[in-house]
Amino acid sequence: MLGGMFGVVIVVGEMTAINLLGMSLAIAILLIAQLLCAFMVDAKGLFGMNKIHVTIHQVIGMVMMIAGVTIFKL
Question: Taking the model in full, what pTM does it have?
Answer: 0.67
DSSP helix/strand/coil, 50: coil
| Cα distances (Å, whole numbers) of residue 17 to 54, 56, 58, 69, 72 | 31, 31, 27, 15, 16
Distance CA 47, CA 4 (A): 19
Residue 25 domain boundaries? 2-73
Domain count, the chain: 1
Tell me the H-state helices in 1-74. 2-21, 23-44, 56-73
For the stretch 47-74, pLDDT in tens is 888 888 888 998 898 889 888 888 877 6
In terms of average pLDDT, the best of 13-17, 28-32, 67-71 is: 13-17
